[in-house]
Structure 1
């Protein structure tokens, strides 16, 4: 996909540049807990500064519901950014104003006041039609930053010409949240491995007992249709939690009173074999409740298999990225996306509101 690059901007020397970054990072005890997203913006920041621009960054943090809230102050982010890029200013949390999420024209005008150019490097927010994403390109010469460009290139490669076999692994809670991406991937992949709580809807669709596991009854028929493609691989055993709080490994059928919490060891082995054979791998979503060490084995097994794979590996942000970090494997994949929801929407739709805005940007 063609989107304007930094080199397409008018000469930025002496110009003021508004940089929409994605610094939506975890904060703990008043400090940035993980600065991956801040560091990911540095190539763009460095290019702009080297070309003489005066850079002001803006970002959202959390969900403050359109009003100032000390819990979501950007002070800790500003402190870390000053250590990494001392010459960059950072505005306060965009979502402190309801105009951001409402895509309000007056808010856009205030945001771009005094600015000459606009750069979007916030891939993780570019699936939202928010003011800071789609507004500035209507008024200012605009371009994609290095991170946004990299995300589009890497994810676009999965859609256009993936090496085969192409194996995707999807986890998470709800089939309904991922029905679109499942259908898109089934047109592209050779195997689609399903884990997480949504696997129980597929197991039920296959005629298995799922005990008290999470299920979306209104999605079971859709799961039956998807299984007819014969590309989907579902768990052959499960780790379950009984009603008396006992952890047990069971087969495809989960007893009444027990709740599936993770894929089982045989499924881990089966999934790892599929991943090992792949020339291209895409993973999004945990295999179980990995935050609880009793149910982390499935997600760990998939993370290790993806990290060890010889094929080209892409991990779609969100909980999958957190899991890789938890297991110390975040440097072992070819591309770790900074946007969970954005990566899925881009793969499903082939475009994002933020990308469309850049393509239609003002020339100056």
Structure 2
């Protein structure tokens, strides 16, 4: 795929797709990580006198809904950038077109929430063409959305010269390195609520990694498959056979919790809510032994402060090591941000589902769309790209 570094940007209107779907509570942002991750591409474009038309989604509105306005995010953006930033709640209209045409070099126009319009998620080509007609160039710097075949991710690439942003490049390089050329031993820690979202990732990673440790609801299905009593803990009945297959095939690689914290329920049963101290001691030894450590998903019910201690300790242990450490997933990254630990990791992925699908070896629609617009990726010039991997 082509890199933003290869584009002629001066005086050009650039349609820049970002993921500014930032978490909020009571109308206030609780994490700005994804916005800050996008600043490198924005500043690169501004420094080269491009005119930026910035697009993103927020949440899942059913039509126009002021609760899903990008306004709080734009106010945060203005804190970081001392350039003119214009904003409209509309996505496409004659007024939007006129504002785009009036943009000067090194100015930014932010359009309304893309998901106000159902055509976005439907990857409607007419909508994509109209969106593309606002600009001269398209840049995708929304890796975390690139597993979705939406109009602003896939459709627009059919109508504009298309490039990968700086953060997109960094995500691909870091995750590809994890799959193909990581320092060994490689330890992967997989938490989160659902095994279903991670089955393909585990199948792809287990042959590669030296050790794979499980926590959260993901681990519960494996514990149940082993015959452990998990009472009313979250697990996935339909995936018990999958868990047994992995346990039988990789007994020396899989690390399951050996103790846990529970919440007793009015029914008389209990729910596994976090990993216990013996498990954490095992994980600490594994982290000390590994040279590459990747954490995806929390190991406890971290929305409850009583049960985030296990994940906090794992993050603090990882943050202290000088090994190559990577974390991903909104809840995990959000907790690390609350603990002021983000700068202590070698790489922090903006992706959740996109990261897991990349590590599962699945083609991401957004990346495939960029490759289709790259002459090197299509075999021209001998397929030899001068500056960026295919």
Fold similarity call, TM over 0.5: yes
Distance verdict in 2 for CA 1:362–1:306, change over 3 Å = closer
Per the alignment, residue 372 of structure 2 pairs with: 360
Deviation sequence 1:259-316 (CA, Å, 0-9, x none)? 2111111001111111111110111011111222221121112111221222201111
Per the alignment, residue 104 of structure 2 pairs with: none
> How far apart are the structure 1 equivalents of 2:343 and 2:134?
39
Does structure 1 residue 211 correspond to structure 2 residue 223? no
Distance verdict in 2 for CA 1:257–1:33, change over 3 Å = closer
- Which blocks of at least 5 consecutive residues in structure 2 are unaligned? 84-106, 376-390
Pairing 1:253-272 to 2, within 5 Å after superposition? 257-272=269-284
CA contact (8 A) 1:268 1:302 kept: yes
Partner SS state of residue 210, structure 1: coil
> How far apart are the structure 2 equivalents of 1:243 and 1:33?
30
Deviation sequence 1:148-190 (CA, Å, 0-9, x none)? 0000000110011111110000011122221111111102100
Partner SS state of residue 138, structure 2: strand
Partner SS state of residue 198, structure 2: helix
Pairing 1:1-364 to 2, within 5 Å after superposition? 3-9=1-7, 11-65=8-62, 67-85=63-81, 86=83, 87-228=107-248, 229-230=250-251, 231-244=253-266, 257-361=269-373
- Kindly tell me the number of residue pairs found equivalent between the two proteins: 349
> How far apart are the structure 2 equivalents of 1:328 and 1:82?
23
- Which blocks of at least 5 consecutive residues in structure 1 are unaligned? 246-255
CA contact (8 A) 2:31 2:334 kept: no
> How far apart are the structure 2 equivalents of 1:220 and 1:127?
27
Which deviates more from structure 2 when the two are superposed, residues 79-88 or residues 305-314?
79-88
Partner SS state of residue 34, structure 1: coil
CA contact (8 A) 2:15 2:134 kept: no
> How far apart are the structure 2 equivalents of 1:195 and 1:176?
14
Deviation sequence 1:18-63 (CA, Å, 0-9, x none)? 0001111123444433222222112111111222211110000111
CA contact (8 A) 1:138 1:362 kept: no
Relative to the length of structure 1, the TM-score reads 0.92
> How far apart are the structure 2 equivalents of 1:4 and 1:283?
30
CA contact (8 A) 1:144 1:358 kept: yes
CA contact (8 A) 2:61 2:115 kept: yes
Task: Give 1:147 deviation, angstroms.
Answer: 0.4
Partner SS state of residue 197, structure 1: helix
Task: Give 1:244 deviation, angstroms.
Answer: 4.9
Task: Give 1:362 deviation, angstroms.
Answer: 7.2
Task: Give 1:124 deviation, angstroms.
Answer: 0.9
Deviation sequence 1:109-163 (CA, Å, 0-9, x none)? 2211231001000011011000000112111111111000000000110011111
> How far apart are the structure 2 equivalents of 1:212 and 1:83?
46
Distance verdict in 2 for CA 1:78–1:177, change over 3 Å = same
Q: CA RMSD in A?
A: 1.6
> How far apart are the structure 2 equivalents of 1:221 and 1:194?
17
Which deviates more from structure 2 when the two are superposed, residues 73-82 or residues 330-339?
73-82
Partner SS state of residue 281, structure 2: helix
CA contact (8 A) 1:276 1:310 kept: no
